[in-house]
Amino acid sequence: MDEDFDMPPPEEMNDEEMGFADEAPVLKAGEEKEIGKEGLKKKLVKEGEGWDTPENGDEVEVHYTGTLLDGTKFDSSRDKGTPFKFTLGQGQVIRGWDLGIKTMKKGENAIFTIPPELAYGESGSPPTIPPNATLQFDVELLSWVSVKDICKDGGIFKKMLAEGEKWENPKDLDEVLVKYEARLEDGTVVSKSDGAEFTVKDGYFCPALAKAVKTMKKGEKVLLTVKPQYGFGEKGKPASGDEGAVPPNATLQITLELVSWKTVSEVTDDKKVIKKILKDGEGYDHPNDGAVVKVKLIGKLQDGTVFVRKGHDDGEESFEFKTDEEQVVEGLDRAVMKMKKGEVALLTIAPEYAFGPSDSQQELAVVPSNSTVYYELELVSFEKEKESWDMSTQEKIEAAGKKKEEGNALFKAGKYARASKRYEKAAKYIEYDSSFGEEEKKQAKAQKITCNLNNAACQLKFKDYKQAEKLCTKVLELDSRNVKALYRRAQAYINLADLDLAEFDIKKALEIDPDNRDVKLVYKTLKEKVKEYNRKDAKFYSNMFAKMNKLESHDTTKATKEAEPMSIDSKA
């Protein structure tokens, strides 16, 4: 009852679908209010439990007593001793009921006053209900069973048999374990399993199972009514092995239980490092860059050969390393920062994030070139690198200086991506300096300028010219006469084809430092770019005018031909 459904397009929606007709009024016991704008009134007798209310398609169970306005009773489930069950919103009852009961909570008791337009209208229901009768129903909502149209096209209806745990649902990459039994409408069992495991995106048995599990919680049990388009369609399915035949255009009834699932996630955007959780960890915290982690690990090749094993033997301590320091392969480094304490995961790491294009001798075996490798990894514990909000002012300045020096060493080694991260972190340590003293502010300003300038140099190496321009602009906001910032921003502008802005920065830099060799060289590059663009523009306009002249010439010739008199055949 807490699923979200797509809202239909506005042009297809009526007041009821928009929520105006059936929006539950806020009532206290004894109060009466109108529901919607069609004359339906609700008086609350007893409040219900929680916040949930039933939705269209749900199977509801109620007790009721129906009377005319003069108090004459014409029907009562209470007198019969049996609750009344029906499917909400399917026209199985008068419209006043469909609109009113969906505003109720479990256990709620209310009296609905229903005008004839929402009851039996002009004809009434002889002999008990006269024409144009306004009716009153004393209704108690006992319970309901959630039934969802999960694909919004009537193809799969999901009826809740047992609620699941928590709130998470499996995603496409996850591996789920289910129990199911599929029957034809006549009750014939065509397939069943007490433990089927599959990846959600790959599906199992029929398309409906994958669609349904994505809406389920761990431990949830449901009954699916599956139309042919989500079953086996017009062709059906022949019998095979233990599975029976499914006739063409057959509707299936599938009892499905989501036993558990293993969460699978993409650690890198290019999907080349995949993490499958085998055992959930504790809490919500993860290691950060620079954290000291302790792990147990087993590394294997595709054929099962173990090339490394650490922390698993009796008396052997966990393997310790510092993240983002190239002490392990990059895929392992990145994955451990997505893990929680105590988590056990299976990592699949492509060669680009493992040992690359060369053979690599490891502890127990050689990893051949271009090998995809697999690690079973347990994060035993970790100690995060101290965050800026836990530092004193002096600690922040010292930490920024340390990160800057690390960045410089990495830059000199050609490791620009890791250098950029160091400069970025250094700048963040001292980003907010309102609590700093005057001397500390001077130190922080100098650090910010250096870190952002150096990071801009990294971005130019990556050819991320937009980011380089932003970083240089930050520097110039602190020091408008910084020649290096003007020089690097000009380089970014040239590559972004903002030549006027590049020229402005270069001229300003030369005003400040007329003999700067680097700025003069980039000015020369700019002038060559301008010439190149002018040549391209000249060629473009030349070609454009040539085409226009050709078209004009063609149109003139055509007009001349159209103006010529018709020739006469002399033999006619």
Pair of tokens at residue 415? 């490791």
Catalytic residue selected from 84, 112, 137, 205: 137
Catalytic residue selected from 22, 58, 84, 94: 94
Catalytic residue selected from 22, 58, 64, 411: 64
Residue with structure tokens 């009344």? 84
Q: Are 469 and 493 in contact (CB under 8 A)?
A: yes
**CA distances, 452 to each of 101, 114, 165, 420, 513 (Å):** 62, 70, 48, 9, 21
Which one-letter amino acid corresponds to residue 99?
A: L
Q: Burial level of 302, CB count in 10 A (0-12/13-18/19+)?
A: exposed
Note if 313 is an active site residue: no
Q: Are 275 and 264 in contact (CB under 8 A)?
A: yes
Q: Which of 472, 466, 468, 471 is nearest to 485 (CA)?
A: 472
SS3 helix, strand, coil % of the chain, rounded to 5? 35, 25, 40
Q: What is the dihedral of CA 207, 208, 210, 212, to 10 degrees?
A: 170
3-state secondary structure (DSSP) of residue 343: coil
For residues 146 and 158, give the distance between their C-alpha atoms in angstroms, rounded to a whole number. Answer: 8
Catalytic residue selected from 84, 112, 120, 232: 120
Q: Are 394 and 430 in contact (CB under 8 A)?
A: no
Pair of tokens at residue 347? 């990592």
3-state secondary structure (DSSP) of residue 465: helix
Catalytic residue selected from 74, 86, 198, 321: 74
Note if 120 is an active site residue: yes
Whether the bond into 130 is cis, omega within 30 of 0: no
Note if 204 is an active site residue: no
3-state secondary structure (DSSP) of residue 297: strand
Note if 464 is an active site residue: no
Provide the phi-psi class of 321: left if phi over 0, else alpha when psi is between -120 and 50, else beta: beta
Q: Are 136 and 69 in contact (CB under 8 A)?
A: yes
Note if 137 is an active site residue: yes
| DSSP at 246 | B
**Active site (catalytic) residues:** 64, 74-75, 94, 120, 137
